[in-house]
Amino acid sequence: MGAMIVVTGSTGYLGHYVVRELDARGVPHCTAGRVAGCDVRIDLLDPASIRPAVEGLAPATILNVGALSAMGACEQEPDLAMRTNALAVAEWAALGVRLVQVSTDLVFDGRSAPYLPTGDVQPLSAYGRSKAEGEVAALRAEDALVVRIPLLFGPSHDGAHGATDMLQPGRSLGLFTNEYRTPLHVADAARLLVDLALDEARRGIVHLAGPERLSRWDFARRYAEIAHVDGRAWRPTVAVDPLRPRDVSMISDLRIGRSLDAALDPVESARTPDSIPRPHEVHPQRSRRQLH
């Protein structure tokens, strides 16, 4: 396999799974990030760091998973969000290399679900706005693909990122009955994202979405039932925050290949954070060797 992929965000929730998927398929890749263990150092807040870092690698594709992804942090520091999620994307897009930009269902305002890629982009939050700007920046490149993904679930590297990680037995939680998503297992998202990254003919906007539309509350109850988790401390609540769109369910352009129940099954979800590669275990030597 010749084509090499530069992947950002490898130290994050989805990024861990993407790197594992690339490793498993033997796809040559190079991780780009700001912490030790990444193959090349870049800081999305310092666009000038991007070009020199990837020059000489001659990648076929940039897979930009990295982002300021916490909604609260984006709301508090919208400038930081815009720089990380949009200005840095413009820099990637200017490299003249195929760009696959990971985006979100939160670019929508939730009033016209279910959404197709042609849906009207009307973000409500600072996070959504920065990601929407990132889409525009990416699509300025001739050869760009924007992949919108929904709420992700499944075990995370730090036990605190995935939608199911939050659903601890005995933990007192309020879960929205009026906020609808099409949740997708993070491993499925990574697998399909790598498929798309390798499919060099793909351009434009693609939606990846889970097989069912359901509220946070219904999702939690389904998880409790299938994973045999005691959810008696969880309670239904109503979302009133105007920054949270009520229904951003999407129609998937790709077949997910398994039902929501199968993805929620404890055997399938048995991958503990320990089995997810840590940043320093991402085999930098192997990745570098594969570049040649």
Ligand X SMILES: NC(=O)c1ccc[n+]([C@@H]2O[C@H](COP(=O)([O-])OP(=O)(O)OC[C@H]3O[C@@H](n4cnc5c(N)ncnc54)[C@H](OP(=O)(O)O)[C@@H]3O)[C@@H](O)[C@H]2O)c1
Residues in contact with ligand X by the rule CB under 6 A? 8-15, 33-35, 43-45, 65-69, 84, 102, 104, 131, 149, 151-152, 161
Closer Cβ to ligand X, 116 or 230, answer by number: 116
Terminal CA-CA length for the chain:
11
Residue in the shown chain whose Cβ atom is closest to ligand X: 12
Q: Which of 76, 112, 116, 110 is nearest to 242 (CA)?
A: 110
CB of 200 to ligand X, least distance (A): 21
214-215 vs 180-181, strand pairing mode: antiparallel
CB of 190 to ligand X, least distance (A): 10
CB of 152 to ligand X, least distance (A): 4
Closer Cβ to ligand X, 101 or 290, answer by number: 101
Closer Cβ to ligand X, 230 or 241, answer by number: 241
CB of 16 to ligand X, least distance (A): 8
Closer Cβ to ligand X, 123 or 230, answer by number: 123
CB of 139 to ligand X, least distance (A): 15
Closer Cβ to ligand X, 158 or 230, answer by number: 158
